[in-house]
Amino acid sequence: MKKRIVLALGGNALGKGLAEQMQAVHTTASALADLIQEGHELVITHGNGPQVGMIHQAFEAASATPAHSPVLPMSVCVALSQGYIGYDLQNALRETLRARGINKTVTSLITQVRVDPRDPAFNNPDKPIGSFLSPETAQRLSQEGVNVREEAGRGWRRVVASPMPQEIIEIESIKALLAAGQIPVTVGGGGIPVVADGNQLHGASAVIDKDRASAVLAQALDADMLIILTAVEKVAIGYNTPYQKWLDRMSPKEARDYIEAGEFAPGSMLPKVEAALAFAESRPGRQALITLLEHAADGIAGRTGTVISQ
């Protein structure tokens, strides 16, 4: 059965730098083309954690040069990351589709996502961006007023606020692209975070979780399935313990119980399961799948991955 699918690419689909990304997108494009060739209608979203941090750090470094270039706000950094990630993705997918004789247009859309300025996340920045920092650099940045946090056993990283997505501003443009038979690449990095002030939209200093934004997008598009691609084939409880158990399926109640029991790590699997849960219980018949990119087709067919549905 052919489905309308919102597919959220994880960081492993994009690499950790420009050179890695240019290689990774070709592998990613091949897996996406397999789904398109099966007749599924795809809307592609993606993360931007390493990329947006790299952009922000570059402009911060430039501000310390004799040119005194301005440090760009986080919302502009997200927009820049959408542009160059989308550029690589759409070109790689277009090339792969044409090699298979599939004449479909792939379009990257600079996408804004409205957030609530009163969201408590603004008072507790916790979304890691950019590369890991040495303890000395982390201490210096903290003294300069930059929010940093240590990830257990891995090192220090910058953190920014991660408010909940409320609305996809360009939703009608995405619908128009789908109606025209195009493949949209949208809500990159969770979308450019904006707050509404009457008819105006103002950028917010934040990064929105791409899986949560993808769930909001999937609901607005009345998608059949939300696929969240990550670095493991299935979701596990008791992860990395002697009691580890891989899960094939979860009902919304089971997912909620596992969340309350603290089975999923914040900043890692937790937001993915929460996003999948939000979509799955938004309407009967909707399914969310969490799996590896290379197993997406098997997951849709029910042969692997973790499915959350009512």
Read off the pLDDT of each residue in 63-69 and give the average, rounded to a whole number. 80
Supply the pLDDT for residue 19: 75
- From 3, 12, 16, 175, active-site residue: 12
Query: Does residue 1 carry a pLDDT above 90?
Result: no
* Per-residue pLDDT at 267: 76
Please tell me which residue in 10, 130, 190, 210 is annotated as part of the active site: 210
- 158 closest CA partner among 207, 231, 120: 207
Q: Which of 189, 272, 299, 305 is catalytic?
A: 272
pLDDT-derived band at 12 (thresholds 50, 70, 90) equals: low
Highest mean pLDDT among 38-47, 62-71, 263-272: 38-47
Got the DSSP string for 54-71? HHHHHHHHHHTSTT-PPP
Whether 175 is catalytic is: no
C-alpha distances (whole Å) from 232 to each of 24, 279, 293 are: 17, 20, 9
The pLDDT of residue 9 is: 94
Cβ(173)–Cβ(220) under 8 Å?
Answer: no
Which residues have CB under 8 Å from 268's CB, separation 6+?
A: none
12 is a catalytic site residue: yes
- The dihedral built from the CA positions of residue 238, 239, 241 and 246, taken in this order, carries a sign that is positive
How many whole angstroms separate alpha carbon 293 and alpha carbon 273?
17
**Is 272 an active-site residue?**
yes
Structure tokens, 173: 């443009």
Percent of the chain with pLDDT over 90: 69
pLDDT at 220 over 90: yes
Q: 212 — alpha (psi -120 to 50), left (phi > 0) or beta? A: alpha
- Residues, the chain, total? 310
What pLDDT is stored for residue 212 in this prediction? 97
SS3 of residue 236 by DSSP:
strand
For residues 41-59, average pLDDT: 88
Annotation marks residue 145 as catalytic = no
Residue with the larger pLDDT of the pair 24 and 118 = 118
Catalytic position from the list 10, 11, 190, 299 = 11
- pLDDT, residue 276, reads 97
Is 3:268 a contact under the CB 8 Å cutoff? no
Token pair 């931007």 in the structure block, residue = 48
What average pLDDT score do residues 88-100 get? 96
pLDDT 10s digits, 140-184: 888 888 888 887 677 888 888 999 999 999 999 999 999 999 999
Domains of the chain, earliest start first: 4-115+164-309 (3.40.1160.10), 125-160 (no CATH)
Across 272-300, average pLDDT: 94
Annotated catalytic residue, options 47, 49, 86, 127? 127
Number of Cβ within a 10 Å radius of residue 235: 28
pLDDT band of residue 133 (cuts 50, 70, 90) is: confident
Helix (H) / strand (E) containing 283: none
